[in-house]
Amino acid sequence: MKETINYSKNILLLSIVAILIWTSCKVDVINDPNNPGAGTISENASLSELQNLVDGIESGMRDNLGNYFDGVGVIGREFYRYSTSDPRLTSDLLGKGSATLDNNTFYTTNPFAARYRVVKNTNILIKAFQNTKATITEAQRKAGIAYALTIQAYQLLMVFNEQYGNGVRVDVSDPAKLGPFLSLEESLNAIQDSLNKANVDLKGNAATLPFTTSLYSNVASDFSRLNRAFAARVAIYRKDWNQANTALSESFFDITGSLTTGSWHLFSTAGGDQLNPQYYPQNSSGETRVVEPSFITDAQAGDTRVTSKTSKRTATAFQDGLQSDYDFWVYQSNVAPIPLIRNEELILIYAEVQAQLANTTNATNAINVIRKAAGLPDYSGATDLNSLINEILNQRRYSLFGEGHRWVDVRRYDKLNQLPIDRVGDDVWIQFPRPATE
C-alpha cells in the first residue's frame, strides 16, 4: 500500500502515447518510420515498451485534472474558480442569468477527451500484453491486462461523473466500430463488470506486475485491493449495498488505519513532469480558487478540516457578483499529491453501507472515527436512516472537500436543491452536455 510519497521519476512517453489524440473517439494514423506505431507495440512489445505505455497511461491520467475538478467542484458549490481571462468559470458553470453549459468548449470537451485518451492507451496495453513475446509468466500477463482494465474503469467512472444521464461509451476498443452510449444504469453496470473481470486475475495472484506503477503496489494481489476500493465506490453509486460491503472487505479499507492510505496522483518539478493543477498560492488574484462561503459558516466549531483545507485571505476576493474570504488550500504546494481514492473515503463508504443495511451501531462507530480525526465529539443525533445519511453526507463534504465528490453525492441522493446559491438567478446543473464531437 502507498501513502503520500515523493515522486521524482521523470515521465517519459513513447511517441505512440503522445500521438493517441482523442478526436471524436478516433485514433489518428501515424506513419513514422523512425518510431514504433500502435500496431508495432500491440504486436510484440518489449518489457521497456510495456513500461513506457504504463508511464504514459499514468501521466495521461493527470491530464486535464484541473478542468475536471473545477467543473465538478464549482457546480457542486465547493469552491469558485475566479479567472480574469475566462468568465465562463463563474457564468456557465454556475448558470448565471441565461448562461448554460456549452457542449463544445474546454470545460466539457477537454476532460472528456483526456479520459478517453487514457482508455484508448489501456486498450493498446491490453493488446500488447496479449501479443507480447517478452519473457513474462502467464500470471504476469493476466495481471498486466487486469491493471489496464482497472485503470480503464476508473477513467470511465470519471466520465460518468460528468455525463451522468447521458451515459458513457464503454466499448471503444475498435476505433472504426465504436460501441453505443449506454444508459445511466448500463454505464455503471459495465464499469462494475470491468472491475470485477479484472479482479478475477488480480485477487490471489502472487505475481509481480511486469512494470512499475506509481499508483499502488506492484504485486497483483495487492493491486486487487485498489481495484476493490474503486468497486466499492461504484457499488454505492449503483445502490448495491451488499456488493459494496463485500468490495470493502477485500480493499485496503481499515477503520483504525491511516486516513491517507490509498492511491495518489504524484507530481514533481522534474523536467517533463506535471505540477498539481489545483494549487494556487495564498491570496492570489486574477487566477485563483476561493471557498464557497457556506463551507465555512456551516462547519461545526473546532473542525480541523476547515483550518487545514482553507486559508483566510488578507482581503476578500470578489468576482462576477461572488465573494469569499477564504482560499481553497487543500493542496499547499505545486507538487502536493491528489488522491484517486483513500482510506478516509472508504471509512465513509463503510458508514453509508452500514446505515443502508440498518447496522446503525457500525455506521455510527465509523462516523465517529471520522469525527474524532477532525477534532469533533461523537455523533449524538438521531440514528434513523435519513438522519445518518445526512450526517454521512456532511462528513463527506468536509473530509473529501475539493476531491470531486460533493456534486456526485448530493445528486445521487436527490439533494441538488440543497446546494447553496450565492447569486440570484444561478442554476445547479445535473450533468454536463455530451460533447459536440460525440
In this structure, the answer to whether residues 298 and 389 fall within a common structural domain is no
CB burial readout 239-251, b (16+ within 10 A) else e: ebbebbbbbbebb
In this structure, the answer to whether residues 323 and 382 fall within a common structural domain is no
With 0-12 / 13-18 / 19 or more C-beta atoms within 10 angstroms meaning exposed / middle / buried, residue 143 is buried
Kind of pairing between the strands at 287-291 and 79-83: antiparallel
Considering Cα of 56, then 5, then 142, then 119, what sign does the dihedral take?
negative
- pLDDT recorded at residue 38: 63
- pLDDT recorded at residue 30: 35
Q: Is residue 392 part of a domain?
A: yes
Nearest to residue 426, comparing CAs of 23, 200, 96?
96
Judge contact between 11 and 55, C-beta under 8 A.
Answer: yes
How far, in Å, are 53, 158, 205, 431 from residue 219 at the CA level? 18, 25, 8, 37
Could you count the other beta carbons within 10 Å of the beta carbon of residue 408?
Answer: 20
Give me 57's grid cell: 497511461
Q: Is residue 281 part of a domain?
A: no
In this predicted model, what pLDDT tens digit does every residue of 309-330 receive, in sequence order?
A: 999 999 999 999 999 999 999 9
Question: Of all residues in the chain, what percent are helix, strand and coil, respectively (each to 5)?
Answer: 45, 10, 45
DSSP codes, 268-288 = --STT----TT---TT--SEE
Quote the number of domains for the chain. Answer: 2
In this structure, the answer to whether residues 90 and 167 fall within a common structural domain is yes
- pLDDT recorded at residue 32: 41
> Domain limits at 242?
15-273+336-418
Beta strands in 247-361 (DSSP E): 262-265, 287-291, 310-319, 322-328, 338-342
| CA triple 14-17-20, angle to 5 deg | 150
Q: Is residue 1 part of a domain?
A: no
- pLDDT recorded at residue 37: 56
How many whole angstroms separate alpha carbon 282 and alpha carbon 285?
9
Query: Any idea what the CATH number is for the domain that residue 213 is in?
Result: 1.25.40.390
In this structure, the answer to whether residues 229 and 309 fall within a common structural domain is no
Judge contact between 146 and 199, C-beta under 8 A.
Answer: yes
In this structure, the answer to whether residues 322 and 350 fall within a common structural domain is no
How many whole angstroms separate alpha carbon 137 and alpha carbon 207?
8
DSSP 8-class letter at 179: P
Q: Which residues of the chain have pLDDT under 50?
A: 1-36
In this structure, the answer to whether residues 389 and 294 fall within a common structural domain is no
CA dihedral 333, 338, 342, 344 (to 10 degrees): 50
Q: Is residue 412 part of a domain?
A: yes
Give me 33's grid cell: 518510420
Beta bridge partners of 328: 310
In this structure, the answer to whether residues 170 and 203 fall within a common structural domain is yes
In this structure, the answer to whether residues 199 and 320 fall within a common structural domain is no
Model-level pTM? 0.91
Q: Is residue 213 part of a domain?
A: yes
Q: Is residue 437 part of a domain?
A: no
How many whole angstroms separate alpha carbon 321 and alpha carbon 424?
9
Q: Is residue 355 part of a domain?
A: yes
- pLDDT recorded at residue 41: 77
In this structure, the answer to whether residues 215 and 292 fall within a common structural domain is no
Q: Is residue 436 part of a domain?
A: no
In this structure, the answer to whether residues 244 and 160 fall within a common structural domain is yes
In this structure, the answer to whether residues 161 and 295 fall within a common structural domain is no
How many whole angstroms separate alpha carbon 77 and alpha carbon 82?
13
In this structure, the answer to whether residues 342 and 321 fall within a common structural domain is no
Give me 189's grid cell: 453496470
Beta bridge partners of 262: 2, 342
